[in-house]
């Protein structure tokens, strides 16, 4: 989909982002060429995404406008589109603050019975996530359950095993999240789009 814009695209010089002085009225924002391997986002999108990713979304549209050099109304429009199409906004409880443990359970089913097993698991009161996944061992049902003790975990695993069609289960629990330094801008090819703004 091609977007029309009345907002000037920013220019990057010496690490600073400045809007072009001339308005591009009714013109099309520059986008990656077809088959370039770059995502279909404009330079404005990429600049806004960079700030959102760096701040984990904890940034106001006013601050985004200041940092990108884009008008506030343009930032608000681009941000809404990005949040609708490209960014997941998730608010999730810190379960251990409530004395709960978050357990990931992978479930293998007998042929043709995965749908029945899923319908049964939907009704489990402590299931907070349910999906079908595939890997080197074939298709698996993946679910997350909340429990408060090892005894409760054993009881719920027994209940899952008793569901018709379930033939094998395995479970894991995250003990620690390890900080890492993934450059999402580079990984998502957004840095290359921003480079297109450089004269």
Q: Which two tokens stand for residue 160?
A: 């899952």
182: in domain: no
Mean pLDDT (the chain) is 80
Return the pLDDT at 198.
Answer: 54
| Domain final residue, candidates 45, 70, 89 | 89
- Whose tokens are 């029309």? That residue is 4
What are the pLDDT digits (tens) for 82-102? 988 888 878 889 999 999 999
Indicate if the pLDDT at residue 168 is higher than 50: yes
181: in domain: no
What are the pLDDT digits (tens) for 177-199? 888 777 888 887 788 777 765 55
Sign of the CA dihedral with 48 first, then 193, 40, and 188 last: negative
The C-alpha atoms of residue 107 and residue 109 are separated, in whole angstroms, by 6
Q: Are residues 159 and 113 part of one domain?
A: yes
- From 140, 141, 169, 138, select the one nearest 156 (Cα to Cα): 169
Proportion of the chain above pLDDT 70, given as a percent = 78
More confident of the two residues 33 and 157 = 157
Range of the domain at 101: 95-173
Q: Which of 8-17, 89-98, 161-170, 171-180 has the lowest mean pLDDT?
A: 8-17
Task: Work out the pLDDT band at 39, boundaries 50, 70, 90.
Answer: low
CATH number of the domain enclosing 157:
3.30.70.920
Provide the 8-state DSSP code for 10: E
Indicate if the pLDDT at residue 173 is higher than 90: yes
Return the pLDDT at 196.
Answer: 63
Average pLDDT for 152-157 = 96
- From 99, 96, 101, 92, select the one nearest 171 (Cα to Cα): 101
Task: Work out the pLDDT band at 160, boundaries 50, 70, 90.
Answer: very high
Q: Give the global pTM.
A: 0.65
Question: What are the DSSP calls for 114-147, one per residue?
Answer: HHHHHHHHHT-TTEEEEEEEEETTEEEEEEEEEE
Return the pLDDT at 61.
Answer: 95
Q: Which two tokens stand for residue 144?
A: 């997350």
Return the pLDDT at 117.
Answer: 93
Return the pLDDT at 32.
Answer: 47
Q: Are residues 47 and 123 part of one domain?
A: no
Proportion of the chain above pLDDT 90, given as a percent = 50
More confident of the two residues 2 and 60 = 60
165: in domain: yes
Indicate if the pLDDT at residue 9 is higher than 80: no
Q: Are residues 124 and 65 part of one domain?
A: no
| Domain final residue, candidates 70, 89, 108 | 89
């Amino acid at each position: 989909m091609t977007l029309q814009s009345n907002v000037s695209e920013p220019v990057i010089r010496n690490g600073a982002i400045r809007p072009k002085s001339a308005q591009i009225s009714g013109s099309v924002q520059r986008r990656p060429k077809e088959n370039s391997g770059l995502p279909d986002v404009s330079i404005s999108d990429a600049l806004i995404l960079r700030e959102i990713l760096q701040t984990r979304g904890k940034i106001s549209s006013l601050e985004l406008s200041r940092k990108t050099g884009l008008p506030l109304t343009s930032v608000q429009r681009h941000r809404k589109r990005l949040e609708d199409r490209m960014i997941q906004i998730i608010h999730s409880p810190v379960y251990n603050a409530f004395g709960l443990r978050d357990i990931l359970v992978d479930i293998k089913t007998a042929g043709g019975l995965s749908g029945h097993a899923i319908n049964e698991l939907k009704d489990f009161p402590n299931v907070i996530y349910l999906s079908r996944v595939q890997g080197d061992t074939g298709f698996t049902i993946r679910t997350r359950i909340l429990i408060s003790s090892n005894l409760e975990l054993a009881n719920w695993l027994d209940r899952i095993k008793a569901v018709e069609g379930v033939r094998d289960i395995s479970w894991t629990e995250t003990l620690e999240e390890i900080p890492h330094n993934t450059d999402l801008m580079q990984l998502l090819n957004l840095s290359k789009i921003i480079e297109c703004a450089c004269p």
